[in-house]
């Protein structure tokens, strides 16, 4: 008998229809020591109306690369609540921060510092919209839709594609999109190549992107697919996967804001190496100067230039206000670290 990770949704449905007796299932979700996602569920007596009403919990940090075995308890502190599109009803998803048992933030808790800097510059009203790219594989590690043991035709027809010969995994994309909307994730759209999350102000952008990733992985389970956030999952003449980060402040969005945009770019240019250090693992495989990227060792910018580090959209240059697009972040970034360094570089 073969075992498959693909969900038997018809069988599961009859159990999910059972009455919960007034109880609520809360899925506690956290980021592990390797930048992955973990989750476990606890029962609540009633539905919370605010995240402050949720109890702290804990987990074995020695199993997630977040603590040694002789002092392994790591605390889960609820930070944001989303509706649960899988269990539905009053059930919830809870994004958590990780803390050591002495009350200090765990070394993997980048949300803590990000929250502080967003609060410091809240009067500047920084907005972020992040374009999350990803690759889908089947359980045999073949790219979804590619011929077994081979390659499809050259890239070009797959961008914003329509048709069974060029569009692969559409059911997963549609299911994930609807799950995000149901959960309350701010998602601005999807296309074959990218999943834009945002725009959001302050810490919300990062929370929503992590929740969107969790939902994507859970939806992919139902379809027997595996999600990869590696920036260059397939070597060769193929575009990599990024997390283009669109950024603006109130000054940039107001009349004459183009000056604030250029000022921000000038500040970012002096800290290129510092940005690259937190812009994703294996990003050197993607930022080669080819496939719509700038080279990892060089900082550049331009209007409508997708081969630059920073792109100023054509309509922004024409209107003289708006936002910039940082094209350097890889698909596997921690958005707390990326948005932290952007705000710190441009506003501090």
**pLDDT single digits (tens) 4-22:** 566 677 889 899 999 999 9
Assess whether pLDDT exceeds 70 at residue 155.
no
Tens digits of residue pLDDT in 259-318: 999 999 999 999 999 999 999 999 999 999 998 899 999 999 999 999 999 999 999 999
Count CB atoms within 10 A of the CB of residue 305: 16
Q: What per-residue confidence (pLDDT) applies to 313? A: 97
Confidence (pLDDT) at 222 = 93
Q: What is the pTM assigned to this prediction?
A: 0.92
The H-or-E segment that residue 209 falls in is helix 204-222
> How high is the mean pLDDT of the chain?
92
- Give mean pLDDT, residues 231-255: 93
For tokens 């922004």, the residue is 316
pLDDT score of 346 more than 60 = yes
Report the C-alpha gap between 144 and 164 in whole angstroms. 12
Measured CA to CA in angstroms, residue 220 lies from 87, 136, 272, 347 at distances of 16, 8, 35, 39
């Amino acid at each position: 008998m073969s075992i498959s990770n693909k969900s038997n949704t018809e069988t599961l449905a009859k159990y999910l229809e059972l009455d919960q007796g007034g109880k609520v299932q809360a899925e506690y979700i956290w980021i592990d020591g390797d930048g992955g996602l973990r989750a476990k569920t606890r029962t609540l007596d009633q539905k919370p109306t605010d995240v402050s009403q949720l109890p702290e919990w804990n987990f074995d940090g020695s199993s997630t690369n977040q603590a040694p075995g002789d002092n392994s308890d790591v605390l889960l502190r609820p930070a944001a609540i989303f509706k649960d599109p899988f269990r539905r009803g009053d059930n919830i998803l809870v994004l958590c921060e990780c803390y050591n048992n002495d009350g200090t933030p765990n070394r993997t808790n980048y949300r803590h510092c990000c929250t502080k800097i967003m609060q410091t510059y809240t009067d500047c009203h920084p907005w972020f919209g992040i374009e999350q790219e990803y690759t889908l594989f089947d359980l045999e590690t073949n790219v979804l839709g590619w011929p077994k043991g081979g390659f499809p035709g050259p890239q070009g027809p797959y961008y914003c594609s329509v048709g069974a010969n060029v569009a692969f995994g559409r059911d997963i994309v549609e299911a994930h999109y609807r799950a995000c909307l149901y959960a309350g994730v701010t998602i601005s759209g999807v296309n074959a190549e990218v999943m834009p999350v945002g725009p959001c102000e302050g810490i919300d952008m990062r929370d929503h992107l992590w929740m969107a990733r969790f939902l994507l992985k859970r939806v992919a389970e139902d379809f027997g697919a595996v999600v990869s956030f590696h920036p260059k999952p397939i070597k060769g003449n193929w575009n990599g996967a990024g997390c283009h980060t669109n950024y603006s402040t109130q000054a940039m969005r107001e009349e004459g804001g183009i000056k604030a945009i250029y000022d921000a770019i000038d500040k970012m240019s002096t800290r290129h190496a510092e940005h690259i250090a937190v812009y994703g693992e294996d990003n050197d495989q993607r930022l080669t100067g080819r496939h719509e990227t700038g080279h990892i060792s060089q900082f550049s910018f331009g209007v409508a230039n997708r081969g630059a580090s920073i792109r100023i959209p054509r309509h922004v240059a024409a209107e003289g206000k708006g936002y910039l697009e940082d094209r350097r972040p890889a698909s596997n970034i921690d958005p707390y670290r990326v948005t932290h360094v952007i705000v710190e570089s441009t506003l501090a």
